[in-house]
Structure 1
Amino acid sequence: MKYPLILGFCIVALDVFVWRLRMPPNEFVRLFVRLALFAALSAVLFSAGLSPVTQAPAADAAGPHWLGQVLEIIWWLMGARLLTLSLDSLLLPRAWRRQRLFSDVFGAVIFLAAVVAALGFVLELPVRGLVATSGALAIVLGLAIQSTLSDVFAGIVLNTTEPYSVGDWVVIDDVEGKVVEMNWRATHLLTGQGNTVIVPNAVASKTKIFNNSRPANVHGISLLLEIDPEARPRTVLDALGRALTGCNAILDSPAPNVRMKRTTLNSVQYEVVAFVDDMSKKQAVSNELFDLCYRHLAAADVSLRALGVPPSAVTARDAKEGLLKRVSLFESLAEDEVAQLAKRLSRHEYQANQQILAPETVPDSLSIVHSGVLSVTFNEPSGEREIARIGPGEAFGEAGLLAGLAMHVSISTVTPCVLYQLSKDDMTPFLKQHVEVAKQMCQLLAYRQNKLGELTSPIPTEPEKGHSVFQWLFDKVRHLHSLHNDS
């Protein structure tokens, strides 16, 4: 074969080209291409008498001899790299490949063996003396990098036992985050604030590890609430139980629970525990659950307040006005306007599993939940589906009361409920006196209709020429309540 050295270096250059440009893009195809190039390089070397286990021939010609030596050493290093890639791609489990620790350790061992083999076979150096010297050097280095070696061996233990893997949400050494990388030295966590925290493997192996991703479809939520010790525990437990009932985003199994955790001289601590099926839901569901606990406690006359501060005196009239102010339709009303409406509220009590609103009906009153939990269901071809739950401070029926729009859902009580209702006959005189309030309510209703979707009669997507959705709604309100056409 003519010019074997030139051909060999061309093959090496082509391998570097494939490696650096990642061509072809598929990992396995690229590996087999590089293996084929290594086989071609081996054939060229052996056919030209350049055996990697002996010195290169032509010792009398310095140039070709040293080029042959370099090519043989490259053969050893290239073979070590391809052996590492083959083990990584074809033999190691996918989880180990993501964590990179075993790949790095295997690669280091194989490269060390290739370097020793190249020194012994190609350069014919005294390997025994080199190994003995390197052993003494290894002891010195081992003492110098003791903490690093501790991280390496701890990483091997963590990767073998697999208490967590890349992608899991964990708590390590009081740091919570998502595992984004595991290497020979440390575990990299991405926290909820978007920061990267690096936990050394030696620290992770010695501390408690909470893996929030296992089991895969059950993730716990825990809320701690400090309550005034004057509040009766049974009342608090019942209110928090209704809050759990009113949250349809939590799992039924494992069952959520409430318990009185501990007592002090100034407070009683209650713990609310629930579970969700997706880690990404924890924050949103925690916020929703805390809001529900607050509202159900308030409905039971138990408030979260600074301990030692006496509660403000709340009269029945104040309670009705506060209930109205919590409804978004009435947030913009003045105090005197709220007071007028509060006088018209009527109280209604319902038992559990009692239907309040049937499908395809037009509500003639606005119902505001004072206490209890209601379920909103929608009939589909496949059956009945629950789409929401309603709790204290929420209202329904405003579309029927204001604009005469029918509701396509069924609303029933889940627990015993107390509702305050405002009828059409009570609302009409108020709207006649406060036309601007009617406009404000229509603006809010137009916005909410976009969110309601299938729950009520649809608003035309293309109102009459020159009329907006707001104007369409306001015309219906004006017609339904016989308002003057001067606005």
Structure 2
Amino acid sequence: MISAGLSLWLIGLFILVGVLIVFGYTWLFNLLTKILVALKFHLAAFFVKRLVLPAAFISAAYSWQHVGQWLTPSLAARMGRIFDATLTFFTVVFFFAFIDGIFLVYYRYKQRPFPLPRLLRGFILTIIYIAVFFIILRTRLAVNITPFLATSALLTAIIGLAFQGVLSNVLAGLSLNLTRAFSRGDWVQIGSHEGVVEEINWRETILLDRATNFVVLPNSLVAGEKIINFSRPDKASALILEIKVSYENKPHLVVHQLLEAAREVPHVLGHPEPQAFIAGYDHLGINYWLKFWVKDFSRKNLILGEVARQVWYKFQRQGIKIPLPFNESFKEMLSTVQPSKALSEAEAAIKTNVAYLLQSAFLRYEEGEKKGELLLPAEEIMTLASKVRRETYTRGEVLFRQGEKGDHCFVVAKGKLRGEIIYEEKGKKYASEFEVGEGGIVGEMSLFTGMPRTATVVVAEEAELLKIMATDFAWLLGRNAQLAEMMAEIVSQRNQKNQDFLRKIQNLSKEDVEESCNSRSILARLRRLMALIKEQEA
């Protein structure tokens, strides 16, 4: 027979052994989880991890029963009831954790958000576990829980007064989850704070802001602030770029350039389409709003900057002026009253254009003994240089798109262009890409033959381009009677060699290809251009 004193020591030892058993089983189940992760069974590891704690207590409860034989019969009977109660409680916990884990794995497998927020789901499970705990106390251990509940009510009141700030955060968190004002992964603005929701827990909401800092906001503060959810009702969010333009620029031209700038930025959505309109007037100029939609709101500032960059280059080429500060306006006014300086700058620009044209592939023989030589004397190229425009384009701008009509071509003075040709072969679509560097020429086929653009050409890096309009080229043809026939012959021979590939290109009809390979058709177009210029001069 074991004495009562010794039994107390055995109970202490018994409890210590039980704790060690729980830790042992917890370690084993965590090891199993790590093995599943190493084997890349991530969903299985996620599921098992949710069952680690209840499974460890259930296994420990079974193990404790074998140790009970060392106690006195009365203590063994009492501890047996405790074992049974513990086993029952954690079996119920295991059951609910198992069901909860199945649903979580299912939604994660389907890559869909779980219907209940994590905070609300945890609150419901906690209420269930507390209710089960009191039921087991009453039924299995015959504990009168009425005094306990009364004491709990008083204790709850005391705790409520002491931790009213914490409780207000918890209740506010539950309210936010029930109303589903935002979810994890949404981009939101809460008061003056903006960022993506990283976590919503019992006490606080955590945002990751644009500076990659964690912003921790108490739920009670969040519930009292104005909340803007940029990810609802869908991921498309509108951004507005405000621009002020001088009164001397025509609104329809400004609006057109603003819309083109937005459309050429890859992250701007095509639907809904960008919008540009006059927002007001003041003493400095006309205020315009450029409104467009993006899906990745985290890149808001980068996209706004990219659109603004495109706008600046387009405004510069079109002569659209942004109102300047007084000192800059004064400098500009001084430059207009110095005609000699302006004249010298114009002459320098023409000389630069001449150098770029003479270094390019424009108007040169493409094959034969004269390959690479000019079709015209250099003096004639110099006269053309006074008419062409040298313009600067930024990365990402689209010069023209496949299938469009074209009345001009470009000579690359500086920078690099990237082109893409979409063609069909045996019912499948393919893309052929190419690059054009300094001295290269693009868009000449449409200028010479009149057929639609055969490629889409985009600026790969900031470039200076010489823009040769059909009118400028017709003027040059009018000064050189034989040039039209020479060009018609050269272009038709080139297209005849590429005729099979031209037939595969989208947006080119059979008639377009045939006419581009016929020297007479090309010559007739060039003569029509010359006739048009003569009519305009007359």
TM value normalised by structure 1: 0.59
Match among 341, 346, 349 for residue 387 of structure 2: 346
Residues 320 and 180 of structure 1: CA distance in aligned 2, closer, same or farther (over 3 Å): farther
Alpha-carbon distance, 1:355 to partner: 3.0
Q: Match for residue 437 of structure 1?
A: none
The verdict on how the C-alpha distance between 1:384 and 1:258 changes in structure 2, with shifts beyond 3 A counting, is farther
- Determine helix, strand or coil for the equivalent of 1:346: coil
1:243 pairs with 2:261 = yes
1:289/1:12 CA distance change after superposition, 3 Å: same
Which residue in the other structure is 1:17 paired with? 27
Is residue 25–residue 60 contact of structure 2 (8 Å, CA) maintained in 1? no
Contact 1:346-1:420 within 8 A present in 2 as well? no
- Corresponding residue for 2:370? none
Counterpart CA distance in 1 for 2:242 and 2:144 is 70
Kept after mapping to 1: 8 A contact 2:243/2:289: yes
Structure 1 contact 187–199 (Cα < 8 Å) conserved? yes
Q: 1:34 Cα deviation (Å)?
A: 7.3
1:77–1:114 CA contact under 8 A, matched in 2: yes
Alignment counterpart, residue 75 of structure 1, candidates 84, 87, 92:
87
**What residue number does 2:124 align with?**
106
| 1:202 matches 2:220 | yes
Match of 2:406 in 1: 355
Q: 145-154 or 75-84: which moved more?
A: 75-84
- Tell me the residue number matched to 1:410: 455
Partner Cα separation in structure 2 for residue 70 and residue 188 of structure 1:
41
Rounded Cα–Cα distance in structure 1 between residues aligned with 2:144 and 2:347 = 96
- Say yes or no: does 1:86 pair with 2:98: yes
Query: Which residue of 1 is the match for residue 514 of structure 2?
Result: none
Distance 1:261-1:318 versus aligned 2 partners, 3 A rule: farther
Question: Any idea what the Cα deviations from partners look like across 1:243-286, whole Å, max 9, x if unmatched?
Answer: 23444542221010112223344454322111234446544432
Letter aligned with residue 209 of structure 1: I
The question of 1:379 aligning with 2:422 is answered: yes
The 1-side partners of 2:289 and 2:433 are apart by: 27
- Shift of the 271–60 alpha-carbon distance from structure 1 to 2, 3 Å rule, reads same
Say which SS state the counterpart of residue 170 (structure 1) adopts.
strand
- Show the counterpart of 1:28: 47
Alignment CA distance shift 1:108-1:36 (3 Å):
closer
CA distance in 2, matches of 1:351, 1:117: 76
Between the aligned partners of 1:124 and 1:153, the Cα distance in structure 2 is 34
- What runs of 5+ residues in structure 1 fail to find an aligned partner? 51-56, 330-340, 358-362, 389-394, 402-407, 424-487
Shift of 1:421: 5.0
Separation of aligned partners in 2, 1:399 and 1:209: 55
Q: Any conservation in 1 of the 2:249–2:320 contact (CA below 8 Å)?
A: yes
Matched letter for residue 379 of structure 1:
I
Distance 1:34 1:126, change over 3 A: closer
Query: TM-score, normalising length from structure 2?
Result: 0.54
2:51/2:97 contact within 8 Å kept: no
Post-superposition shift, 1:31? 5.7
Cα distance in 2 for residues equivalent to 1:128 and 1:219: 56
Letter in 1 for 2:467: Y
Task: Indicate how the Cα distance of structure 1 residues 387 and 269 shifts in structure 2: closer, same or farther if over 3 A, else same.
Answer: farther
- Please name the residue that 2:305 is paired with: 287
Q: Does 1:398 align with 2:445?
A: no
Post-superposition offset of 1:138: 1.6
Q: Following TM superposition, by how much is the alpha carbon of 1:211 offset from its aligned partner in structure 2, in angstroms?
A: 2.5
CA distance in 2, matches of 1:256, 1:250: 8
Distance 1:37 1:291, change over 3 A: closer
**What SS does the aligned partner of 1:158 have?**
helix
Structure 1 residue 197 displacement after superposition: 1.0
Q: Is the 8 A contact 1:188 1:197 kept in 2?
A: yes
Q: Output the CA distance in 2 between the equivalents of 1:421 and 1:162.
A: 59
The whole-number CA distance in structure 1 between the counterparts of 2:180 and 2:90 is 32
Instruction: Choose which of 184, 197, 200 in structure 2 pairs with 1:179.
Output: 197
**Residue aligned with 2:280, SS:** strand
What's the counterpart of residue 484 of structure 1? none
Q: What is the distance in 2 between the residues matched to 1:131 and 1:181?
A: 34
State the distance in 2 between where 1:223 and 1:152 align.
40
Structure 1 position 293, deviation (Å): 1.0
What secondary structure sits across from 1:193 in the alignment?
A: coil
Amino acid of the structure 2 residue aligned with 1:398: E
The runs of 5 or more residues in structure 2 that have no matched partner are 1-13, 37-44, 337-341, 357-381, 391-398, 442-452, 459-464, 473-538
**% of aligned pairs identical?**
23
- What residue number does 2:167 align with? 149
- 1:102, distance to aligned residue in structure 2 (A): 2.3
Q: Deviations over 1:215-242 (max 9, x none)?
A: 5552333212234456554443233233
Give the Cα–Cα distance (whole angstroms) in 2 for the partners of residues 207 and 421 of structure 1: 58
Query: Higher helix fraction: Structure 1 or Structure 2?
Result: 2
- Map 1:454-473 to 2 at 5 A: none
Structure 1 equivalent of residue 365 of structure 2: none
Q: SS of the counterpart of 2:269? A: coil
Alignment CA distance shift 1:155-1:419 (3 Å): same
Residue of structure 2 in register with 1:473 after alignment: none
Distance (whole Å) between structure 2 residues aligned to residue 108 and residue 323 of structure 1: 81
Pair 1:296-2:314 in alignment: yes
**CA offsets per residue over residues 428-459 of structure 1, 9 Å max, x none?**
xxxxxxxxxxxxxxxxxxxxxxxxxxxxxxxx
Contact 1:365–1:397 at 8 Å: present in 2 too? Answer: no
> What is the distance in 1 between the residues matched to 2:275 and 2:61?
69
1:162 shift after superposition: 2.3
User: Structure 1 residues 227 and 59, CA, compared in 2 at 3 Å: closer, same or farther?
Assistant: farther
Contact 2:413 2:439 in 1 (8 A): no
Secondary structure at 1:197 match in 2: strand
1:58 and 1:171, CA in 2 relative to 1: closer, same or farther beyond 3 A?
same
Counterpart of 2:478? Answer: none
Q: Aligned equivalents of 1:387 and 1:263: distance in 2?
A: 46
Q: What is aligned with 1:431?
A: none
Paired with 1:319 and 1:175, the residues of 2 have a C-alpha distance of 52
- Counterpart of 1:254 in structure 2 is 272
Equivalenced residue count is: 378
Is 2:269–2:292's contact at 8 Å kept on the other side of the alignment?
Answer: yes
| Aligned residue in 2 for 1:438 | none
Closer, same or farther in 2 for the Cα pair 1:73/1:35, shift >3 Å? closer
**Cα distance between partner residues in 2 of 1:221 and 1:72:** 63
For residues 36 and 157 of structure 1, the distance between their equivalents in structure 2, rounded to whole angstroms, comes to 33
Comparing 246-255 and 18-27, the one that deviates more:
18-27
- Highest RCO, 1 vs 2 (Cα 8 Å, sep ≥ 6): 1
User: Conserved in 2, the CA contact under 8 Å of 1:28 and 1:89?
Assistant: yes
Could you tell me which residue of structure 2 aligns to residue 168 of structure 1?
A: 186
In the TM superposition, residue 179 of structure 1 has moved relative to its aligned partner by 1.3
3-state SS, counterpart of residue 455 of structure 2: strand
State the one-letter code of the partner of 1:410.
Answer: A
Is the CA contact 2:169–2:203 (under 8 Å) kept in the aligned structure 1? yes
Query: Whole-Å Cα distance in 1 between the matches of residues 457 and 114 of structure 2?
Result: 52
From the superposition, tell whether residues 308 and 71 of structure 1 become closer, same or farther in structure 2 (CA, over 3 Å): farther
> C-alpha separation between the residues in 1 aligned to 2:433 and 2:174?
48
Distance in 2 (alpha carbons) for counterparts of 1:289 and 1:386: 28
